Structure 1
Amino acid sequence: MKIYHQLSDFKKLDNAIVTIGTFDGVHFGHQKIIKRLCELAKNSEGESVLLTFFPHPRMIIDPENQELKMINTIEEKAQILASLGVDHLIITPFTRDFSNLSANDYIKNILVDAIGTKKIIIGYDHRFGKDRLGNISTLVENASSYGYQVEEIPEQDINDVAVSSTKIRKALLDGDVALANSYLGYAFSIYGPVIKGDKIGRTIGFPTANIFVPETYKLIPGDGIYAVTVEMGEDKNPEVYRGMAYIGQRPTINGMTRNIEVNIFDFNREIYGQNIKMNFLAFLREDVKFTGLEALTKQLQKDKEETLAFFKGK
């Protein structure tokens, strides 16, 4: 898959089969659209093009609202789209000027003149252009003038399991990673370098790798203990370990910052500075303040036993 970070970097195609959207999470509903996109491109001897935006439009239109977090970083999204077989990914910088482009100018300047769209496949509820006034009817009305076709993905095809990025975000914030993963079709993950912590885990027999997530817009699941797998090393053939992750402020030691830590089972190497990927598989329990480190240690042993039992049952 070829990736373009500016529309101006993209060379207009003779037979572009296009879809548009933010596709946060690239969940089952999104995957139906993308599967159809690639199918149409193959059948028409064209090339599939996915046009997305970064930052998320709501971050630009409503910058004071810092609550919206993304299921995927832009890099994670690109990896998933590549695995689904998309030929071209255009990541258009979403700016105030871009948001003021009228629906008709959006169609002419971007879809037709810049991309060379011959067929556009779009969800029934997609909106575009200034004030989100453009919709599938706008695309259909302009189709004959610009020589492209429109295929609608109906509501029942996208929402047959009531999937939405909003529902997935809520499930993750509630700690319900199993539900989120069932909607996504893959395990939600976070990725980042291992940074130095205060090493308290080592003193109680549960050393942890502290993960720093550099993308501030990335959604982090709710506080608690999780069963996870950890990937490190080569992207195509990583080492995979089992473990239990902790997200929270460490109330037992009166922690002041929210930490993301993972106790990796059967692992004893220094990996400071190394990027690791943590896949969330199950929620074990909520974060709790214990009377001291001894009580915490006993609970962590129970957590480990429960995590191992989870993997044994897989």
Structure 2
Amino acid sequence: MRVFHSISEFNCVKKTVVTLGTFDGVHLGHQKIINRILNNTENRNLESVVLTFSQHPRSVLQAESNIKLLNTNEEKILLLEKKGVDNLIIHPFDTEFSEMTGEEFVKKILVDKLNIKKIIIGYDHRFGKNRASDIHDLIQFGQKYHFDVEQISAKEIDEISISSTKIRNAILEGNIALANQYLGYPYSFSGKVVKGRQLGRTIDFPTANIVIENLQKIIPANGVYIVEGFWNNQTHQGMMNIGNKPTVDGKNLSIEIHFFDINQDLYDQEITIGVHKFIRNEVKFHSIDDLKLQLQNDRETALLYFSKNR
């Protein structure tokens, strides 16, 4: 897959089949559209193009917006590459771009830059300045500039009934099972291992403390989760606590992972965490012994889960 960080960088002699959107999460609804594009390019001397943005449009157009995202740009690239997309354009979304009318966008971007043969888009997609243009306008522009328009119908999309907003809300509420169902894969995030208070070592549950540097990345609700960690081309099973560690008088939010088969320092290691299942809420225990007993039970729950889901 070729990746471009601006529309101006893109150049393709072949005609293209295009879709566009934020694609946050690259969830099952997005995958349905991408599969349609790939079916249209297969064995037809056409190339697939996904046009997305380096910033969520809402964060640019709504100054007060503090939207959290399911994917970083790096994660989005990996997910779309796995799908088999030929070309991915991650264009900077700014106020100048948002001021283009619908027809200006079609002529200057789709026709002149992307060499479009066909566009595949959701029935409810809106575009252009103030989101004033819709699928009916796009069909008219297609007739004028000689490209085909295929819309994913309301019925098809409603069969899945997925939106990035629903997934974000599920993760923030700790409903990771629903989020993963909509995504089609375990929700994940990456971070660097930093030194913590090392209290877990004293009760035989050493943990890796993760710091997520991307402040827009969604962090799941406080609680205990079944997870997998990925680094150095290896996968390690474990369990994760997100919260303030009230039993040991913790005061700051922390993300700590206990890996079942690792007992070594991972400081400064960049780790990706795939979140599989919510186990329980974070609670304050009466004693360290009670906490340790619960952690043993959590570990057994996680190991049983992995034994059933290999």
What range is the shorter-chain TM-score in?
over 0.9
Q: How far does the alpha carbon of each residue in 1:93-137 deviate from its partner, in whole angstroms, 9 at most, with x for none?
A: 011111111111111111111111110010111111111112111
Q: Does the alignment pair 1:282 with 2:277?
A: yes
What is the distance in 2 between the residues matched to 1:256 and 1:138? 54
What is the distance in 1 between the residues matched to 2:126 and 2:249? 47
Letter in 2 for 1:274: Q
2:296 alignment partner in structure 1: 301
Q: Superposition pairs for residues 263-274 of structure 1, below 5 Å?
A: 263-274=258-269
| Native 8 Å contact 1:13 1:115 kept in 2 | no
TM-score by length of 2: 0.96
| Native 8 Å contact 2:171 2:220 kept in 1 | yes
Q: Secondary structure of the equivalent of 1:159?
A: helix
2:47 alignment partner in structure 1: 47
| Deviation of the 1:226 alpha carbon | 0.4
What is the distance in 2 between the residues matched to 1:98 and 1:258? 38
Q: How far does the alpha carbon of each residue in 1:52-99 deviate from its partner, in whole angstroms, 9 at most, with x for none?
A: 012100111113221x21111111111010000100000010111111
What is the distance in 2 between the residues matched to 1:62 and 1:293? 47
Q: Does the alignment pair 1:166 with 2:161?
A: no
2:199 alignment partner in structure 1: 200
Q: Superposition pairs for residues 111-122 of structure 1, below 5 Å?
A: 111-122=110-121
| Native 8 Å contact 2:119 2:147 kept in 1 | yes
What is the distance in 1 between the residues matched to 2:158 and 2:77? 23
Q: Secondary structure of the equivalent of 1:114?
A: coil
Letter in 2 for 1:53: F
Letter in 2 for 1:261: E
2:255 alignment partner in structure 1: 260
1:19 alignment partner in structure 2: 19
Range that drifts further, 188-197 or 7-16: 7-16
| Deviation of the 1:12 alpha carbon | 4.2
TM-score by length of 1: 0.95
After superposition, the CA RMSD in angstroms is 1.3
| Native 8 Å contact 2:14 2:45 kept in 1 | no
What is the distance in 2 between the residues matched to 1:215 and 1:58? 17
| Native 8 Å contact 1:226 1:283 kept in 2 | yes
Letter in 1 for 2:133: G
Q: How far does the alpha carbon of each residue in 1:160-200 deviate from its partner, in whole angstroms, 9 at most, with x for none?
A: 13211111111111111111111111111111221111111
Q: Secondary structure of the equivalent of 1:152?
A: strand
What is the distance in 2 between the residues matched to 1:108 and 1:254? 61
Identity within the alignment, %: 45
1:185 alignment partner in structure 2: 184
Q: Superposition pairs for residues 1-314 of structure 1, below 5 Å?
A: 1-66=1-66, 68-233=67-232, 238-314=233-309
What is the distance in 2 between the residues matched to 1:162 and 1:221? 22
| Deviation of the 1:146 alpha carbon | 1.1
Range that drifts further, 13-22 or 86-95: 13-22
| Native 8 Å contact 2:19 2:119 kept in 1 | yes
| Deviation of the 1:4 alpha carbon | 0.6
Q: Secondary structure of the equivalent of 2:112?
A: helix
| Native 8 Å contact 2:119 2:150 kept in 1 | yes
| Native 8 Å contact 1:12 1:113 kept in 2 | no
What is the distance in 1 between the residues matched to 2:99 and 2:285? 53
What is the distance in 2 between the residues matched to 1:101 and 1:289? 54
What is the distance in 2 between the residues matched to 1:294 and 1:100? 61
Q: Secondary structure of the equivalent of 2:219?
A: coil
Q: Secondary structure of the equivalent of 1:115?
A: coil
What is the distance in 1 between the residues matched to 2:258 and 2:96? 46
What is the distance in 2 between the residues matched to 1:97 and 1:226? 43
| Deviation of the 1:312 alpha carbon | 2.3
What is the distance in 2 between the residues matched to 1:232 and 1:118? 41
The answer for unaligned runs of 5 or more in structure 1 is none
